[in-house]
Structure 1
Amino acid sequence: MPRLLDMPTATIRPLPVTAPSVPKHRIPRTPRTPRIPPISRIARIHRLLLLCFEESRPVVLAAFQLRYFAGIALAIASGPALTGRSVIQAVFGSVAWFGAIFYTYLYNGCMDYREDRVNGSARPIASGRLSRRTALTVARCSAAGALLTAACAGPGPLVLCTAMLLLGHAYSSPRTAWKNRTPAVMGVVFVSGLLTYAAGPLTLGVPPQSPALLLTALAMSLWMALVGAVAKDFSDIAGDAAAGRRTWAVALGERRTRVLVTVGACTVGGGFTAGALLWAPEQLPTACVVLAGAIALSVVTLAGRATDSRHERRRPYRYFMVTQHCAHLALLAQAIA
């Protein structure tokens, strides 16, 4: 048997292993987000602000500015002459009051979006053109700006502006929800009117105590509370009932509420005219405008029916708004003349 040691041995050499050639692919880069040009950003911000302005009811904003300047006009008639400093303070006060009312109604739109959708409202939040988050951010910025400018107008306007902001917040806030019952709404509206008529004179350093100012502030604030605060609900009965609100239009019925609005309008118009004859004859033209508007509003309100469209049910509130705009414009025109 041959020896195994004498057998030739084979050397095992490792074969070179080459990796298979894999085609090299480039890793796709994440596409960069296109940069928004500054002009597009400005246009977007401008559009959002316009939507917020629309949501905050421009007609109501104008009404509060007219009340503010009516207070100033009546204060000037019985107070000292204007100075450069008082004019600047009045401008700051006007901006502050605009911001406070802007916050109040924009915040209200954020809280009422469900009812507004049931009522078929075309306002930006209810229609989906403006997000609630954006509107709330703008509203809070407006409140901060109102306080800042009110501080520049003086301590009196700052106190009144703070009170107005708290009042507007409590009106719509879910924790308080004063908007749910008509008597609470009337109280909020009445106080907000008095605050507005007092804010203008205080920016001038004039106490709001002249008979003409007191009579006008009382009459027009009652016009807001007894007429506008009730008439606004005629077009929103469905949404208010769905949200569980106990407004007079829901609790008492539309017909009875229309009678109450008519009585309130005629009472304010007649009372304002009688008060002007007795204590402030210079306010008789303004009072006559309110009396004429009260008569026209009463006719339209009593002629309304339950089958009317939402636009037709809104007619008494439009007459209320037109009347107070005309009354304040007549007052300001008389003051300028």
Structure 2
Amino acid sequence: MAFQLRYFAGIALALSADPALGARSALQAVFGSLAWFGAIFYTYLYNGCMDYHEDRVNGSARPLASGRLPRRTALLVARGAAVASLVSAACAGLGPALLCAAMLLLGHAYSAPRTAWKNRTPAAMGVVFLSGLLTYAAGPLALGVSPRSPALFLTALAMSLWMALVGAVAKDFSDIEGDAAAGRRTWAVTLGERRTRVLVAVGACTVGGTFTAGASRWAPEQLPTAAVVLAGGIALAVVTLTGHAGDARHLRRRPYRYFMVTQHCAHLALLGQAVV
């Protein structure tokens, strides 16, 4: 859902700068959406297969970790989704096909045992940041529109940083035990949870404040979206800084939930404004 919102946000912002849209472009946008869904589906399902042991240590109730879904079945489905995403992307055009292939490679490298970029926070942040930029660019390219408007550039940059500086780090708070057992070197493991919470809080407020300042200067029409991110960043910072290492797992997950709710609300505000 989050990546589909990003994809269509890119389309909405591109159309605001170049409103011409033909029937062929609309069909290409649909194929692009299906392609992106398949690529993200592969990325998350493959990650779940590779995180099997850590998730069991962390007490996850996900189907793979709980044994309700066999890993072999999940891998087959994931590979099928990857193939389907490439076929759909090819129907959307050369640009979307190249971006989709890049997205699949990033998703694979993030979790694959030989690369395992998920094991270190800076590498994970880089993957997440690039995946955000690719997603915002994929929609406009499916329409044949150059993703270069100031509003699109600012929003893509700010929300990709929101993913990298906030989401990619906050997600680790509930998984520290499993990550440590698996030998991962995330910030929550190496720096400690308290210091990492401070970094997340600072990152959230910085992204929200910078987005708002940038919108005021270069894209005033994006101020409502930026205001949502700023408010969410402040709320997330409060929740993050008041959390404790001894909290139950669902409470340690709260910063990540605030991250998700904020980005959902921001994109819904953006798309709602585009419709109006």
TM-score bracket relative to the smaller structure: over 0.9
Q: 1:274 aligns with which of 213, 216, 233?
A: 213
1:217 partnered with 2:156: yes
Query: Which residue of 229, 243, 247 maps to 1:304?
Result: 243
After superposition, what is the alpha-carbon deviation per residue over 1:179-207, rounded to whole angstroms, capped at 9, x for unaligned? 00000000000000000000000000001
What are the residue-to-residue correspondences of 1:89-100 with 2, within 5 Å?
Answer: 89-100=28-39
Residue 128, structure 1, aligned to residue 63, structure 2: no
Distance of 2:237 and 2:108 partners within structure 1: 32
Residue in 2 aligned with 1:105? 44
> In the alignment, residue 124 of structure 1 is paired with which amino acid?
P
Alignment of 1:32-47 (within 5 A): none
- Residues 27-86 of structure 1: per-residue CA shift (max 9 Å, x gap): xxxxxxxxxxxxxxxxxxxxxxxxxxxxxxxxxxx0000000000000000014111101
Which of 233, 254, 259 in structure 2 is aligned with 1:315? 254
Amino acid at match of 1:148: V
How far apart are the structure 2 equivalents of 1:278 and 1:213? Answer: 14
- Using CA pairs under 8 Å that are at least 6 residues apart, name the structure with larger relative contact order, 1 or 2: 2
Match runs of 1:174-323 below 5 Å: 174-323=113-262
Which has the larger helix fraction? 2
TM-score (norm 2): 1.00
% same residue: 82
Q: Moved runs in structure 1, 4+ residues, more than 3 A?
A: none
Distance (whole Å) between structure 1 residues aligned to residue 126 and residue 77 of structure 2: 27
Q: What residue identity is the alignment partner of 1:267?
A: T
Structure 1 unmatched ranges of 5 or more: 1-61
Tell me the residue number matched to 1:66: 5
User: 1: distance between equivalents of 2:102 and 2:265?
Assistant: 28
* Two-structure CA RMSD over aligned residues (Å): 0.4
Q: Alpha-carbon deviation of 1:114?
A: 0.1
Give deviations 1:258-313, integer Å, cap 9, x for gaps.
Answer: 00000000100000000000000000000000000000000000000111000000
Residue 152 in 1 paired to residue 95 in 2? Answer: no
2:108 maps to which residue? 169
1:218 Cα offset (Å)? 0.1
Q: Specify the code of the residue in structure 1 equivalent to 2:224.
A: P
Aligned residues: 276
Structure with bigger gyration radius:
1
* 1:125-160, Cα deviation, whole Å (9 max, x unpaired): 000000000000000000000000000000000000
Aligned to 2:110, the other structure's residue is in SS state helix
TM-score where L is the length of structure 1? 0.82
For residues 80 and 296 of structure 1, the distance between their equivalents in structure 2, rounded to whole angstroms, comes to: 36
Partners of 1:96 and 1:205 lie apart in 2 by 16
